[in-house]
Amino acid sequence: MPTSRETILAALLARLSALPATALRGEVLPERVPTAGLLILRDGEPGEPDVTLSPLRYHYQHRAEIEAVVQGTARDASFDTLCASIGTALAADRTLGGLCDWVEAEAPRPVDLPVEGAVSLKAAVIPVVLHYSTADPLG
C-alpha cells in the first residue's frame, strides 16, 4: 500500500499528465524536448513536520519541484503558456481530490539554457508546496 506522500505525488503527476506537455517523474532531461514542452516532477523535500498530539498527526509542507522546459523559436510564449497551464491545473482542485489540505505553486525561476547546434531551451523550476497530514512520518 503506497504511503500518503507517494499517493499525493502520484496524484500531482496525474494532474500534470493531463496537460499537453509531456510529464515525467524523477527522470533526466531527454535529448529532445517535445514540441508542447516537458515537465519533470521532482519529489522534493517533505521538511520538518509540525506535530500535534491526541491524535498524533504530522503536518507537512512538502516542497516538490516541477522542472518546466520548452524549446523553439517562440519559447518565451510557449514557456508562459506552459506555466499558466500548470497554474490552472493546480487551481482546478487545490486538494488533489482530497489527498492534500492545500496545493500551491510558487513563481517560476526561469533560465535560458544554450544548446550546442540547436535552439536554446527555456527552463524553470516551479516549487509546489503540498500541505498534508499523516499519522506516521513513514506512512
Beta-bridged to residue 127, according to DSSP, are 65
**pLDDT tens-digit map of 28-69:** 988 889 999 999 999 999 999 999 998 999 999 999 999 999
Task: Give me the amino acid identity at 63.
Answer: R
Confidence of residue 116 (pLDDT cuts 50, 70, 90): confident
Sign of the torsion angle spanned by Cα atoms 129, 132, 136, 139 = negative
End-to-end alpha-carbon separation of the chain, Å?
9
Domain ranges of the chain: 4-134
CA distance 94 to 10: 15
Q: Domain 4-134 - what CATH class?
A: alpha beta
Across the range 111-127, mean pLDDT stands at 88
Angle ∠(4,14,89) on CA atoms, nearest 5: 105
Cell of 94: 487545490
Confidence of residue 114 (pLDDT cuts 50, 70, 90): confident
